[in-house]
Structures are given as C-alpha cells and as structure tokens.
Amino acid sequence: MPEIPARTGTEPFPAPRGFRPDRKVLPGRFPLLDVFRGLEGSVPFRKYPGDDASILKIARQTWANVADGPGWMYVAPRKTPPEVRAAGFRMVESEEDEIVVARAHLTNSPSMDLYLDIIHEFLHILQRKQGRELWLSRNISYVDRPTEVEAYAFSVCEARRLHVPDSYLREYLRVTWVQKSEYLRLLRHVGVAAK
C-alpha cells in the first residue's frame, strides 16, 4: 500500500468541530470512543439504524486497534478471508467488535477522511450485529457488496451534508486495490459524478 503523506497546513474540508480523533495514540487496543472522541455526538451516529441507546452501548463495547504499518481502516474479521490471505495481506483477527486503524492513517490523513472512514466502519459493526456478512464470495466485487455500497453511501450522504464537493469525494473513494472500471462503478453506486 502507498505511504500516507504527512498532513500540512489547513484542511480545506475539516471534519465537524466536535469530532476529535486522538492522533497521538500509540499502537494498541483502546475503546473506540477514546480514540474517536466525539463520534457519539455526531449527526451520523444518530442516523444509524436502531435505537440510540443500543447503538451507544455497541460503540462503548467496540475496540479500536491502532496498528503500525501501512493501511487505512477495516473491521477485524473473525478469520482472514482466503482471497486476502492469498494476496499476502495479514489482517488482525478478532472475535470481538474491533476496528483496525493504521497509525499512519490516524496520524497523517485529513480529519474528513478519518471521519468518513470511522462512520463507514462503525456501520459495518452494526451490519455484522444484524447478522449480515461483510466478506462475501470473491465472485462479488468489493464495490458491489451490499454492505460496502451501503457504508460508502452513508459516508457520502454525510459528506454532502457538510458541503464536501464531488472532487474531494472522487479522491476519497479511490480504492487502491480495485480496477478503474470497478472504481467508476463505485462512484455510480453512491451517486458521485465521475467528472
């Protein structure tokens, strides 16, 4: 995976003021809301499916696993999917609700990217609580998985509420491990103009 460049200057599209990720946290396993402070007070948090008290309880029981090395964020699978293992990528595995966060991403990425990523990944935690499968057959492209389309659409909806332009979203949605045709399909799925 490409290295995430260090942050510089003022961000053109910062995350909402109440969202305060702990960018200085060392690698380790921490309560999700200790690393992503303010998540529980965000607008998307109140829009997740289900009642607010249950969602808050799930968030308080979810872990953030801050890991050294390259990457972004993902929900730790109970067992690494065969196609991921075959590609040579080692995932953190967990029986508990755990979101793995690359420390370089947490430290250096724009706050808007972190915000959109964590609301996306926490929706995956809720999807899994509903019994939905996050890792489907490899015959279904990543960009066509219903859980992924739903999570990306949720993040895009929040970005639009915050007046983030499609030019920013095109870069945000550029997933390095998919082909260009799949990337364009993801843009269509979530209603972001290709240009």
> pLDDT per position in the chain (195 positions), as tens?
444 444 445 888 999 999 999 999 999 999 999 999 999 999 999 999 989 999 999 999 999 999 997 788 999 999 988 878 887 888 899 999 999 999 999 999 999 999 999 999 999 999 999 999 887 666 788 889 999 999 999 999 999 999 999 999 999 999 887 889 999 999 999 999 998
Q: What is the structure's pLDDT at 10?
A: 80
Q: What is the structure's pLDDT at 138?
A: 67
Distance CA 160, CA 166 (A): 9
pTM of the model: 0.92
Distance CA 125, CA 130 (A): 9
Contact 64, 31 (CB under 8 A): yes
Half-sphere exposure of 28 (CA within 13 A, CB side): 8
Distance CA 144, CA 103 (A): 28
Q: What is the structure's pLDDT at 24?
A: 95
Q: How crowded is residue 92: how many other Cβ atoms within 10 Å of its Cβ?
A: 15
Distance CA 12, CA 159 (A): 13
